[in-house]
A and B are shown apart, each in its own frame.
Chain A
Amino acid sequence: MADVRLKGLSKTFNKRLAVDDLSLDIRHGEFFVLLGPTGAGKTTTLRLIAGLERPDKGSVSIGGRDVTHSEPAERDCAFVFQQYSLYPHLTVYDNLAFPLKSPLRRLSKEDIDVRVREVAETVHISHKLDSKATQLSGGEMQRVGIGRALVRRPNIYLMDEPLSSLDARLRSDLRLELKRIQQDTGATLLYVTHDQIEAMTMASRIGILENGRLVQCGTPREIYENPASVYVATRLGTPRINLLPAGVIPAGSEPTGTSVIGVRTEHVVLGDPSSSASKARIGKVERLGDQTFLHVDVEGHKLVLLADPHVALEADRAVGLSLRAPLFFAADGARIHAGQEARQ
Chain B
Amino acid sequence: MTEASTTSRPGLVEQVIRRHPDPVSVRFRGLSDRTIAWLFISPTIVLLLAINLFPLLWTVYLSFTNYRANRPNAELRGMGTTYYEQILSDPDVWESMQATAHFVIATIAIETVLGFAIAYLIDRKFRGHAFWTTVILIPMMLPPAVVGNFWKFLYQPQNGLFNAIVAPVLGVSPGSFQMLGDVQLAPWSIIIVDVWMWTPYVVLICLAGLRSIPDYLYEAAEVDRASPLRQFWSVTLPMALPFIMLAVLFRGIENFKMFDLVNLLTSGGPGSTTEVASITLKRAAFESWRTGYASALAVILFVTVFGLANIYVKALNRVKQR
Contacts and interface: CB of A to CB of B under 8 A. Distances in A.
Interface of A: 50, 52, 71-73, 76-79, 81, 83, 85, 87-90, 98-99, 102-105, 132, 148, 152
Contacts of A104: 225
Contact of B220 (A71, A76, A81, A102): A81
Contacts of A152: 224
Interface stretch (B48-56, B138-146, B211-219): B211-219
Interface string B223-248: 11111001000110011000000000
B136 to A, nearest CB: 28
Contacts of B216: 81, 83, 85
A252 B88 CA distance: 106
Interface of B: 214, 216-217, 219-227, 230, 234-235, 238-239, 322
The DSSP consensus for interface residues of chain B is helix
A79 B225 contact: no
A88 B221 CA distance: 13
9 contacts: A71-B222, A73-B225, A81-B216, A83-B214, A87-B221, A102-B224, A102-B225, A102-B230, A103-B230
B219 A81 contact: yes
B217 A87 contact: yes
Nearest to B322: A89
B234 A52 contact: no
A330 B48 CA distance: 77
Nearest to A76: B225
Nearest to B227: A103
A50 B225 contact: no
Given A81-B219, A87-B234, A99-B224, 18 more contacts: A52-B219, A52-B223, A72-B223, A72-B225, A73-B225, A76-B225, A79-B219, A79-B220, A81-B216, A85-B217, A87-B221, A87-B235, A89-B238, A89-B322, A98-B226, A99-B225, A103-B227, A105-B225
Contacts of B322: 89, 132
A321 B322 CA distance: 65
B224 A148 contact: yes
Given A83-B214, A85-B217, A98 B222 contact: no
A70 B264 CA distance: 58
Contacts of A83: 214, 216
B223 A89 contact: no
A73 B222 contact: yes
B223 A98 contact: no
Contacts of A87: 217, 220-221, 234-235, 238
Contacts of A72: 219, 222-223, 225
- Ranked nearest first, the 3 interchain pairs of A and B with the lowest CB-CB distance are A73-B225, A99-B224, A85-B220
Contacts of B227: 102-103
Contacts of B221: 87, 98
Contacts of B219: 52, 72, 79, 81, 85
Contacts of A85: 214, 216-217, 219-220
B210 to A, nearest CB: 15
A77 B322 CA distance: 29
